[in-house]
Amino acid sequence: MSPTTLTRLVCLLGVAVLLGLAGALAAPQSATAAPHPSFRVVCYPTGMAPNDPIVFPGQAGRSHRHTFFGAKNVDERTTTASLLAQPTSQCGNHYDAVDLSAYWIPTLHQDGVPVYTDSGAHQLTIYYRRAGGPDGLPVAQAMPRGLAMIAGDMHATTPQNHVTYACAHETDTGRQHGGDHTFVSCASDEVLIAKLVFPDCWDGRNLDSADHKSHMAYSQGARGACPSSHPVKLPQITFEAWYFGVNGDAGTFSWSSGSAYTFHGDVLVAWDTTAAANLVNQCINVAVDCNPLGYPAIPHGSVDPAQVDAQLSADPPRPAPPSSEPASSPATSHAHPPATAAASGTTSGPATRAPEPSRTPTSAAPTTSRTATTTPATTAPTPQLRPDDRAEGSGTAGEPSHAHAPDRSPGVGATDARRGAGGPWRYSWIALSVVASGALWAGLRRVRALRRT
């Protein structure tokens, strides 16, 4: 073989080495942990009213104005029992049949006018996550049924650590800026987002407390450890309120509760217990991101009865104070009829185990919401994309958006969606690179020998 021919062969081997290394680097990384072990529920507005069934149960019109998401027919008399009596909620991607929880935040105002639309342009994305990420301590159980939580401080006059604001590009929502603790200015092609992180450590006994906060605490440290006073680690809820079509100067925005510092949120938990346990088992505690953009159905599988019992075991609810207001909401509260359940709201929901309703998931699209209020409100145009088809940001305040979850239907063994993504192909590329490198070295030595002769 002539030196010229051998040199050409050596060059070809060099190209093979480079291709092998490039393939090894480009192949999907084998991973057993997702960036955000979580699942998310996207819920739509169901009403706007000056009511708060946790803080002012049975007392219509006592609160500043709130916008309600998810559960339907929420008013001052709403309890866990009345939530569970509803067949579906206003949440998408099949969660409408299993998450009947009520979520609410103060109503956004722009130039002093309430911002509200039930067109789908406004939505509340609720992330249920493992604090500490994939290396965080596992959660002890799913959310207890009837748990009442409030995050944020409506009386705050300084920035809150768990509240941030951002702007996202309307059609490429992964492009975000902000992360400030006060309102940010959004361009005409951007969307205003408000983010709020809830505490995730429960005292294990009380579904509520006198101040609606003392029964909960925030986890601490890199792994999200709970203090001994609140030893039960739960999924950490993060609200992201998305206002498509709402933008402009930061100075034009306010909340019904006051300035940007006063942002807060309320949750009254009413989950299907089997679905909630499966979401913990197959998403949060195996470090899989069950983002509904890639998961067409709710995870399913066998559930230990103890996991269901844990969601139904807590101290009996405290009786609600007698109502000093009329039984029905004022005319500006809801256009739909109020719920018929008795007033409660501090820790609504029976302490004894109730029969679990059998529900069949319905379509991902939300049902049409009734008109929520007679108060004039600014309305935003319907978004160009269906709300469930957008890639919103991550659940933690100030973090950037994360990528879509794997496009596969989860079930038993859902961890395979993230495990071995590159698998044998990655190692094949590495093996090819090693063999080619050896051949290249031998070829170079042969070329040198021939040139000496």
Taking CA atoms, 214 is separated from 229, 232, 325, 329, 352, in Å, by: 10, 14, 27, 29, 23
* 123 and 23 in a common domain: no
* 49 and 18 in a common domain: no
Q: Would you write out the chain's pLDDT as a tens digit for each of its 453 residues?
A: 565 655 555 455 555 545 554 444 443 332 234 467 899 999 999 999 999 999 999 999 999 999 999 999 999 999 999 999 999 999 988 899 999 999 999 999 999 999 999 889 999 999 999 999 999 999 999 999 999 999 999 999 999 999 999 999 999 998 999 999 999 999 999 999 999 999 999 999 999 999 999 999 999 999 999 999 999 999 999 999 999 999 999 999 999 999 999 999 999 999 999 999 999 999 999 988 887 666 667 888 889 999 999 999 875 444 444 443 333 333 333 333 333 333 333 333 333 333 344 343 333 334 433 333 333 344 333 222 223 333 333 333 434 333 322 222 222 222 222 223 333 333 344 455 555 566 656 666 665 666 665
* 18 and 61 in a common domain: no
pTM over 0.95: no
* 62 and 17 in a common domain: no
* 215 and 343 in a common domain: yes
Between CA 349 and CA 347 the distance in angstroms is 6
* 15 and 126 in a common domain: no
Query: Which domain range does residue 437 map to?
Result: 3-29+422-452
* 434 and 370 in a common domain: no
Report yes or no: 66 and 345 within 8 Å, Cβ to Cβ: no
Overall domain count for the chain: 2
* 292 and 217 in a common domain: yes
* 23 and 171 in a common domain: no
Q: Name the CA radius of gyration of the chain, rounded.
A: 26
* 52 and 15 in a common domain: no
* 400 and 262 in a common domain: yes
Tell me which DSSP letter residue 283 carries.
I
* 78 and 19 in a common domain: no
User: Which amino acid makes up residue 407?
Assistant: D
Tell me which DSSP letter residue 25 carries.
H
